[in-house]
Amino acid sequence: MPELNWLSIEDAHAQLFSRQISSVELTQACLEQIDAVEDRVQSFLTLTPENALAQAEAADRMLAAGEGGPLTGVPVQIKDVMCTEGVPTTCASRMLENFVPVYNATAVEKLMAQGAVMLGKGNMDEFAMGSSCENSAFHPTRNPWDLERVPGGSSGGAAASVAAGEAIYALGSDTGGSVRQPASLCGVVGLKPTYGLVSRYGLIAFASSFDQIGPVGRSAMDCALTLNAIAGHDPRDATSLKREPVDYAASLGQDIKGMRLGVPEEYFVDGMNPGTRQAIDAAVDVLEGLGASVRPVSLPTTRYALACYYIIAPSECSANLARYDGVKYGYSYQDTDDMWEAMEKTREYGFGPEVTRRVMLGTYALSSGYYDAYYLKAQQARTLIRQDFDRVFQEVDALVTPTSPVTAFKIGEKIGDPVQMYLIDVCTLPVNIAGLPGLSVPCGFSEGMPVGMQFIGPHFFEETLLRMAHAYEAATEWSAARPEI
């Protein structure tokens, strides 16, 4: 039997519900792993061990009474972009270094209602802006497979904590690939749900038309069970969609014979790591062996996705972050009597360089004389990208692509070249632009580092994406691999 901290949600639930183990024992196992490796991995910004053990004791009482669900008593890390009552929520920024919310985000609230155990808050790129977890104002997170390499971003702490055995699962957020890309680089499973399926209430905004909360776990089943808990309409979020509840775990285990899969040529970009291409090709062969039919498809507007995203997302960022002016909450520069200087210095000292860069890009794109040339054209390109997906999904059921064109790179290798850093998300951005679901599952290694395969489906196709990932996991051993830290 594996150590308790390496259990999946499914296995942990089975042992908790049968009372073979207690939530306190499971939580202590995770806390011991955190004590052993956190000084090297640094996936957390805030640890809450006392609260976690108190929640574990409460979960044990629920389980003893025959109550609770699959997440009851199972330890989780929460990305530090989601509000947590009484626990600091910093967005890895000096601007919110001392911010302690008085309420929980809806997704967190739903986990707590099931009796989940929160170990603490996960590190991230500041305000979710980044692809490497190096943009945190406090410290970078390191990849458990190679501590000299990045874990991906912006949900780097979430993916690293699961990969390192510090948490059973994690909640992240995905604006342009921020759940899927770090899941790929760390060798775990990450799901970005359809836009509007999971409430964004209490998720501190970066780009409101892209942001979506999603789970990181050790398996497709982990993500399915978490999505069961956090999905659903929320009247407090105007973009939350009303849908009949779905049991995303119910169809896992069914075969994928007859499934029509498309492989878009545009996702195999110049500069792709050869080992990544080989791993994806081998994974596609496995899917064909499982009975799926695979054919090449084309999404020609994909080449506009990067430019489209980096106009619209910074534009929304510049509007959302305008509220951080030092007046109402957060960091406030006080060493002046001049209001305008105070606001300027608050933003200068409160925001890091990547956030400042994106605010400036967005402000420029929205400014008088440039709105039509940049923002309006980007929105038109967004429509074309959505239409491309609509067309191709009339021909195939889902798409198979690399999650990232490269494996985890060295810390510091790309931080000085924003364009190279932005290109890392070229395979994930189109999914957010179109509001589609996407899932990354481990599919191999290249030079000792994990490679992720991405499934993309039409809106509300999560159940089938999870079913395909589960079938692939059952036919391979990649998701069972563990790093030696």
With a cut of 50, say whether residue 49 has pLDDT above it: yes
Give the total number of structural domains in the chain: 1
Tell me whether residue 80 is in a domain: yes
Average pLDDT over residues 328-342: 93
Choose the weakest-confidence range: 72-86, 142-156, 328-342, 424-438: 328-342
Q: Which of 76, 137, 138 is nearest to 108 (CA)?
A: 76
Instruction: Give the count of alpha carbons within 13 A of 325, CB side only.
Output: 9
pLDDT-based confidence at residue 120 (cuts at 50, 70, 90): very high
Alpha helices in 294-376 (DSSP H): 305-320, 339-350, 353-366
With a cut of 60, say whether residue 1 has pLDDT above it: no
pLDDT-based confidence at residue 7 (cuts at 50, 70, 90): very high
Contact 424, 405 (CB under 8 A): yes
Structure confidence at residue 328 (pLDDT): 86
Tell me whether residue 385 is in a domain: no
Q: Which strands make up the sheet holding 44-47, listed edge to edge?
A: 44-47, 117-122, 75-79, 169-173, 213-217, 189-192, 438-446, 449-456, 398-402, 260-264, 293-297
With a cut of 90, say whether residue 167 has pLDDT above it: yes
Q: pLDDT tens digits for 431-473? A: 999 999 999 999 999 999 999 999 999 999 999 999 999 999 9
Which of 79, 192, 345, 414 is catalytic? The answer is 79
Active site residue 332: no
Contact 181, 191 (CB under 8 A): no
Contact 314, 306 (CB under 8 A): no
pTM, full prediction: 0.97
Tell me whether residue 237 is in a domain: yes
Tell me whether residue 249 is in a domain: yes
Question: Domain span at residue 461?
Answer: 4-259+396-480
Contact 71, 63 (CB under 8 A): no
With a cut of 50, say whether residue 263 has pLDDT above it: yes
With a cut of 90, say whether residue 270 has pLDDT above it: no
Q: Tell me the CATH number at 221.
A: 3.90.1300.10
Helix then strand count (H, E) for the chain reads: 15, 11
Query: Could you give the CA distance from residue 415 to residue 246 in angstroms, rounded to a whole number?
Result: 41
Structure confidence at residue 127 (pLDDT): 98
Residue 240's H or E segment, with its range, is: none
Structure confidence at residue 368 (pLDDT): 87
The partner residues of 120 in beta bridges, in order of sequence, read 47, 77
Contact 119, 83 (CB under 8 A): no
Average pLDDT over residues 111-119: 98
Tell me whether residue 326 is in a domain: no
Contact 144, 186 (CB under 8 A): yes
Average pLDDT over residues 377-388: 98
Active site residue 154: yes
Tell me whether residue 225 is in a domain: yes
Query: Could you give the CA distance from residue 20 to residue 447 in angstroms, rounded to a whole number?
Result: 39
Which of 131, 154, 219, 240 is catalytic? The answer is 154
More confident residue, 368 or 287: 287
- Which 8-state DSSP code applies to residue 427? T
Q: pLDDT tens digits for 196-218? A: 999 999 999 999 999 999 999 99
Which of 93, 178, 219, 315 is catalytic? The answer is 178
Structure confidence at residue 2 (pLDDT): 61
To the nearest whole number, what is the mean pLDDT of the chain?
Answer: 97
Tell me whether residue 358 is in a domain: no
Active site residue 257: no
Average pLDDT over residues 83-97: 98
- DSSP 3-state assignment of 193? coil
Query: Could you give the CA distance from residue 395 to residue 297 in angstroms, rounded to a whole number?
Result: 9
The backbone torsions φ and ψ at residue 77, rounded to the nearest 5 degrees and listed phi first, read: -100, 140
- The C-alpha angle with vertex 393 and arms to 292 and 269, in degrees rounded to 5, equals 80
Tell me whether residue 42 is in a domain: yes
- DSSP 3-state assignment of 437? coil
CA-based end-to-end distance of the chain:
20
With a cut of 60, say whether residue 288 has pLDDT above it: yes
Query: Could you give the CA distance from residue 332 to residue 327 in angstroms, rounded to a whole number?
Result: 7
Average pLDDT over residues 41-62: 98
